[in-house]
Chain A
Amino acid sequence: MTDITNQSLNEIIENVKTKKVSSTDLTKAYIKNIESAKKLNAFVTTTFEHALAKAKQFDNKPNFDQLLPGIPLAVKDLFCTENTKTTAGSNILNNFIPSYESTVTKNLWDSGSFLLGKLNCDEFAMGSSNETSHYGNVINPVGDKLVPGGSSGGSSSALAADLTPATIGTDTGGSIRQPASFTGTVGLKPTYGLCSRWGIVAFASSLDQAGPMTKTIKDCAIMLEAMSGFDEKDSTSINKKKDQYSKNLKDNIKGLKIGIPKEYRVDNMPKEVDELWEKGKKILKDLGAQLIDISLPHTKYALPTYYIVAPAEASSNLARYDGVRYGYRSTQGKDLIEMYEKTRSEGFGDEVKRRILIGTYVLSSGYYDAYYLKAQKVRQLIKKDFDDSFKKIDAILTPSTPSSAFKIGEKTNDPVSMYLNDIFTVPVNLAGLPALSMPAGVDKQSHPLGLQLIGKALDEQKILNIGYAFEKNCGFKNEIKKWWS
C-alpha cells in the first residue's frame, strides 16, 4: 500500500469517503509518523488516545457529508482546546488547561475532524523562526539546521513532514505566510474578522487572524471554509454568510488585473527571489491575467509601524498573566507586587519581555502621541495605499519573504534583522487584508520560496482562484526527504 499520509487533504478526504482508508487507519498512520519525527520537535502535546477514540467513533458511525470526515488534525498551540493543555509556547502557561474550546477549532471539530495534538510555536506568537518557544526550537523538514519560520513553525514543520494532513496557524505580521514559504507549503491569512478570534491566546488584537496551512490551494479552500464564519463571541467578527470556497474554486483567471508593487523590490534581496517573482508574473500573464505596475509608497514604514502597534497591544493583552488566576506563579517575592514581577520575569522569555517593554513605553504618559498615535496615523496611510491601488486591480503579486529559510541561531542576536524577515507580510495585517503564500520554486540550495497574493477585503475566493491556476502551471513539487525517521 502507498503511504496514505503523503497526499493532499483533498485526496485523503476522497480516500476516506470511498472507504479506501478508515479514519482509524489514517489516525494510526499519523501517530506513527509523529512518533518517528521527535527530532523535529513540532509537537508540544499529543492527544493520541483522544484521536483514536474519535476515529473509532467515526468509523462506527461515519458521516461522509461533512467537510472534514474523520480527519485527524494537529493545531498550533495558540488555540485554546477544552481539557487539553494550551501553552502558547510560553512557560507562563505551562500548566494551563482551558475549560473552553476556541471557536475556530470548534468549527473544525464540527466539520468532522478531531485533535491529534498541539503544535509548537514562538512564545505568544512573537517570533519569525520558532526560536522564542519555551519548548525548544522546531526543525524545518527541508534541512536539519534550518528554522521552519515562525511563529507558526510547529505547524509548518508538521505539515511539510506529513505529521498532519493540514493545520491552522495564526498570523499577526506574517506568522502563517512566512513559515509556509519556508517549508514549500500554502498558507492563508484571511481578512481581519473572517475567522473568530475567540479562544485564541491574544497577541495583538487588531492584527491577529487565524488561517489555514495546507499542501495545496484546494486544501486551503476546504480548511478556510471549515474554520471561518461569524461568531457572536468576537466583537470584530464579520457577520456574513459562509462562503463555499472549495466548491467555487476556479482556475480561469483571464482578464484579471494583477498589481506589481515596485516597493517590494528591496535592497540586498537575493537574485533568486527576484527571478521567482518574474517567473510568477510570467505564469499569470500566460494564463491571461494583465500585469499592472502599482505603487504602495508607504511600504517601508509598515515594519516600524507594526513594531509600535503590535507591542502596544501585546503589553495590554499580556497584562493578564499575573500568576493569580491561571498559569505559572513564582515562589519568590514577599508581597503581591513582587510576586507579579517575579512571576512575569520567570514566566516570559526574552523576546516577549522586550515587546512588553516596548509596548509599555510607547503607551506611557508623555510618549503616547510621539509613538502610538503616530503609528496609527501611518497605519492609515498604509491602508490608503492599498485602497487606492485596489480601485484599478484585482490582486497584488509579491514575494512572500526576502529569503528562504535561514539557519537556526543566524538571527537571534539581532532583533531588527529578525523583524526584517516580515517586510513583505506585515503591511497586509496593518490593512486587514487577505493574503496567500504559495510555493513557487527553490533557491540555489534547494530551499523552497513562496510568492504572495494579496486581495481586497473579503476577496479570499479570488486569491484562491489565482493561486489554484498558478499551482497548476507552476510545476513546483516539494521534495522533502524524510531524514529524521
Chain B
Amino acid sequence: MSLDKEKIKHVAKLARISVDEAKVESLTKDLNSIFKFIEQLNELNTDKVEPLTSILNHSLRSRKDEISDGKIREKILKNSPKANEEFFVVPKVVE
C-alpha cells in the first residue's frame, strides 16, 4: 500500500500536528519508504500466534486508590506557558 498526501494530512490532523504544504512532499516520500520497510512483516504467517501485550511475567500491580500527594498547585502552574493564579489558561473555546 502507499500513503498519499491526503492521507498524510488526515493523519497529521488526528495527531494535532500542522504540516507545511511545502514539506508534505518529502514527508510522503519518507513515510512511504518506512512503510515499505515495515511491510516485510507480511511475509510471516501469524494466524496462530498470540499477540505479546506485556513483556513481564507478572501482571501489573494495583495500589490503593488514596491521595499520596497534593497541595502543590503553585509548583505545577509554574511550568505552564500561560496561567492565571489558579488555572491553566487556553485560547477561548466558547464564544
Partner of B41, one of A99, A336, A337, A378: A378
Distance from B50 Cβ to chain A, minimum over Cβ atoms (Å) = 6
Taken together as a complex, chains A and B put the C-alpha atoms of A307 and B41 apart, in Å, by: 11
New A-B contacts (4) at CB < 8 Å, excluding given A99-B78, A326-B80: A327-B81, A361-B3, A377-B52, A415-B34
Question: Cβ of B37 and Cβ of A357 under 8 Å apart?
Answer: no
B67 contacts the other chain (CB 8 A): no
Contact between chains at B79 and A375 (CB < 8 Å): no
Establish whether residues A333 and B91, one from each chain, have CB atoms under 8 Å apart when the complex forms: yes
- Chain A residue nearest to B12 in the complex (CB): A357
Known: A345-B19, A356-B17. Contact between A375 and B41, CB under 8 A? yes
CB contact between A357 and one of B11, B51, B72, B91 (< 8 Å): that residue:
B11
What is the bound-complex CA distance between A414 and B17, given in angstroms? 22
Looking at the complex, which one of B39, B60, B79 makes contact with A236 (CB distance below 8 Å)? B60
Interface size class of B (residues with CB under 8 A): 35 or more
Q: How far is the CA of A335 from the CA of B18 in the complex (A)?
A: 14
In the bound complex, do residue A348 and residue B17 qualify as a contact, i.e. CB atoms below 8 Å apart? Answer: yes
Contact of B18 among A325, A341, A373, A378 (CB under 8 A): A341
Candidates B17, B52, B79; contact of A327 at CB < 8 Å: B79
> 8 Å CB contacts to B: which residues of A343-389?
344-345, 348, 353-354, 356-358, 360-361, 364, 371, 373-381, 383
Q: Are B80 and A307 in contact, CB atoms less than 8 angstroms apart?
A: no
Chain B 44-74, CB-CB to A under 8 Å as 1, else 0, gives 1010011111111000110100000000100
Whether A371 and B49, one on each chain, are in contact in the complex, defined by CB atoms closer than 8 angstroms, is no
Q: Is the CB of A232 within 8 A of B63?
A: yes
A249 at interface by CB-CB < 8 Å: no
Q: Does A192 contact B (CB under 8 A)?
A: yes
B34 & A353 in contact (Cβ 8 Å cutoff): no
Task: List residues of chain B with CB within 8 A of the CB of A373.
Answer: 51
A344 pairs with B16, CB closer than 8 A: yes
CB distance A376 to B80 under 8 Å?
Answer: no
Those of A294-353 within 8 Å (CB) of chain B:
298, 300-301, 303-305, 307-308, 315, 319, 322-329, 333-342, 344-345, 348, 353
Q: How far is the CA of A335 from the CA of B16 in the complex (A)?
A: 13
Which residue of chain B is the closest to A328 with respect to CB atoms? B81
**If the complex has contacts A325-B80, A353-B17, A358-B34, are A376 and B41 also in contact, measured as CB distance less than 8 A?**
no
Contact B14 A364 (CB under 8 A): yes
12 contacts between A and B (CB under 8 A): A97-B78, A99-B75, A335-B91, A338-B18, A341-B18, A353-B17, A353-B19, A357-B12, A357-B15, A375-B41, A377-B51, A380-B49
The B-contacting residues of A in range 16-40, CB under 8 angstroms, are: none
Chain A CB within 10 Å, residue with most, of B3, B40, B56:
B56
Whether B14 contacts A381 by the Cβ 8 Å rule is: no
Q: Chain A: how many interface residues by the 8 Å CB criterion?
A: 68
User: Which A residues are in CB contact (< 8 Å) with B72?
Assistant: 99
Given contacts A235-B61, A360-B15, are A304 and B51 in contact (CB under 8 A)? Answer: no
With beta carbons under 8 angstroms apart, the residue of A236, A327, A376, A432 that contacts B53 is A376
Whether B40 lies near A301 (C-beta < 8 A) is: yes
Interface residues as binary, B10-31 with A (CB distance below 8 Å gives 1, 0 otherwise):
0110111111100000010011
When chains A and B are docked, how far (Å) is the Cα of A336 from the Cα of B92?
Answer: 7
Which chain A residues lie closer than 8 Å to B44 at the CB level?
Answer: 298, 301, 378, 381
Closest to B13 in A: A341
B35 to chain A minimum Cβ distance, whole angstroms, is 8
Q: Confirm or deny: A193 has a beta carbon within 8 angstroms of a beta carbon on chain B.
A: yes
Nearest Cβ in chain B — how far from A134, in angstroms?
16
What's the Cα separation between A301 and B38 when bound, in Å?
9
Q: In the complex, which residue of chain A has the Cβ closest to the Cβ of B59?
A: A235
Known: A377-B50, A415-B34. A97 touches B16 (CB 8 A): no
**Are the CB atoms of B37 and A304 closer together than 8 Å?**
yes
A384 to B: closest C-beta gap in Å: 9
Decide if A419 is an interface residue (CB 8 Å cutoff).
yes
Asked whether A341 and B52 contact (CB < 8 A) given A329-B82, A354-B30, A416-B37, the answer is no
Instruction: Judge whether A4 is part of the interface by a CB distance below 8 angstroms.
Output: no
CB distance from A116 to the nearest CB of B (A): 24
A220 at the interface (CB under 8 A from B): no
Q: Kindly state the separation between the CA atoms of A97 and B78 in the bound complex, as whole angstroms.
A: 9
List the B side residues contacting A371 at CB < 8 Å: 38
Q: Chain A residues near B88: list those with CB within 8 A.
A: 324-325
Report whether A381 and B49 are in contact in the complex, using a CB–CB cutoff of 8 Å: yes
